[in-house]
Structure 1
Amino acid sequence: MTNERTVTVDGLRKLAKDDWDTWYGTLIRAFGGVPEADEERELWNSLTEFDRSVGVWDGDECVGTAGAFTFGLTVPGGASVPAAGVTMVSVAATHRRRGVLTSMMRRQLDDIRSWGEPLAVLTASEPAIYGRFGYGTAAFSLDAEIDTSRVTLSTPEGTDDVRVRYAAPAEVAEECRAVYDRLVPGRPGMLRTPPGWERVPLLDPESDRDGASPLQCVVARRDGETVGYARFRVKPGWGTAGPDGTVLLSDLAALDPAADAALWRFLAGIDLTSTLVVRRRPVDEAWQYLVSDIRRCRPSLRDWLYVRLVDVGAALAQRTYQAPVDVVFEVEDAFCPWNAGRWRLTGDTKGASCERTTDAADLALSVRELGAAYLGGVSLAALGAAGRVRELRGGALAEAAVGFGAVGGVAPWLPFGF
């Protein structure tokens, strides 16, 4: 029992520029209180979208923060769909269980709907939090620690035609961005970002290096064209048997298999190193099938991108389906009741429509399951096996699961956090 008053909508307001330092300080404290480098703090200040950010105030004290970036999210079929990138969410430890987070999530989803954006996306520091607000785990990522002293790579034809050369990260930023932009339509989960975000992969405060080098970059070129790049750091190490440094991959992108293999071969062969650490890579990335011994790469899976359908009809109509679908969903959505009820989805590889209907439902599920399955990385059939999707018409689950599958067999992937 507590007599502390609830802090809710009365203390909730849009973020003013003059309040940013206090607001951001609340966020930093909630994540441990370790100060950021000036360059990092300045970057996030410049990227904050004030008209899309809110704070909760208890008198003069900021006790809650939340923001939303303006993104375009690639969905199956290649369309870029407006999506709010939910970010910088925190609640002061002194104000837990007093309605602060719920009030911010309520305001934020109402705002996103009013902006005409059918999707909200986030990465979760604590996965258990966001399911109750309708977010589902839609894409996973792969971590690995590759023992490059014992693992070899077999490379495809044409790899030797690709030249890999060092370059100053800032000097080739535009070339690298052009490669990234060409890849965005081809993989669900990738993001189109507003101006200013080109600075994010170049952020390199010394405080974040943990003994590793400043950010390094190589570009892959063929016939004068840039076809890939990798950004990384090297952490030197020396053991009793000699050098055992670590390569820490930050970012890698390539336009074709040969360029991709050339970059991985380079990273695995850097002098005086014996380990290549990769984090948050696509779960279907090709390097896994080039290595001689996957066990010595110690792969591990982690949850990464969470998706929330803010407008069920608009969101489902924006993507395509790898097999024809004609299914009526009975959708539960207590937090955004405008989504609740029956929706008929009809679609194929060319397009889709999703409209309200009074027809009998074929499948019953919550908006959280629709978010999980939306990008094709989580199977509706698997969710059904877990009891989270109920089949009301025989065969409907299998039909829908095939249609919702990854178009072209490409797994969804979020290329960077936000």
Structure 2
Amino acid sequence: MLNSTKLQRRQSEIRQQLAELASNDNPTDDEQRSMNTLDAEYRTNEVRFRAALIAEDTERREAGEELETREGREYADLVSGFEMRQVALYLDEGRQFSGRTGEVVQELRSRGGYRGVPVPWQALEVRAGETVAAGVPDPIQTRPIIDRLFPDTAASRMGAQVIQIDHGEVEWPVVTSAVTAGWADGETANVAGPTAFATTDRALAPDHNLGVQMRITRKALKQSGAALEQAVRRDMNSVMAVAMDRAVFLGTGANGQPLGVITGAATYGITATDVDALATWAAVRAGVVRFMTANAATGPGGIRALIRPELWSLLDDTSDADLARTEWDKLTRNIPVSNIAMTTNGLAAPAGDPLETQALLTTSAGGIAPIFVGAWGAIDMIRDPFTDAQSGGLRITALATMDVTVARPAQLQLLTGLLLEAGA
């Protein structure tokens, strides 16, 4: 039992005894001495009680942090043994789940309703030893979910953060007021007047469903070992990464898509600057300066850039007057190469005459990610037993509910009108 609880009980007993003694109008000498003793003990226990609360609060905090970390590690260990082939075999022939896969499925089903088999997002990570186009990754369990799932996606490299939501909507109140300080102009003068503290809610709502259909042949089902495991996970990983990446930046906000940060720049309040000149480091530097003057970044090293390969080609081919450095050299000398993401999926293809492209700059201010991606629950894997019944195959549909929002528009800058060729 906690020491504070023991003291509370003792204090209650003392109060009860004092109440009985105080009700006597003519207390004896023994009763008077008892009241003095109990009163002194009560006051001493008050000091001990406050000290016990302080000590126990520190212990609770340390235990809570350790418990949260331990629970996260234990769940990550369970998910690391999740086998996608068990999901396929369960949907195909009804084979029951076993081991860590069964424990994860049972845990996810207890948190929400699924028509099919719930599959955790972490299970889509490509495990070590599986060769993919980007090499052989070795994901670390302590990384954010979007990094574990799709480490090479543009959204991940631009600092987007995935928020796991069990159900309902989630809002973040973001401060929008500009509270200022001012000096008192004289001994009796007042300081700057009060400024209203205002916030704006940034909401994530479960209004957008992403679906993936997979066809698993009978031969693949019979190869129920590593071949099926790798194929299912790799294919789902790649198609969902492409769809998520495109939606985060270029989602139209219509036809079931969330509103992407580039398409919805005006809606989110993101500053868009039309450069309308040949793309150079100077154009990107102007965006960096705007970040710094708005106190959103302390320097170019904390800024991430999303560009098209065509822009890289131009910058790398354009040199200064003495041919000592290219525009790309100037860019990477200020913004680390690791902070630059090239994509053909997250940015629209160059268009116009002359050709022009766009670039997106982001920064994480105060530890707040520039982009939030909401993911509701787990991936719902549903079986279609009829479509491929004649060939003995299995067709499954994976459904995921997601949304995108921007926390603070000051953490993003959109550069448009970056010309890739000189005008006529």
Q: Which has the larger radius of gyration?
A: 2
Q: Which structure dedicates a bigger proportion of its chain to helix?
A: 2
TM-score for both structures, normalised by structure 1: 0.20
TM-score for both structures, normalised by structure 2: 0.20
Q: Which structure dedicates a bigger proportion of its chain to strand?
A: 1
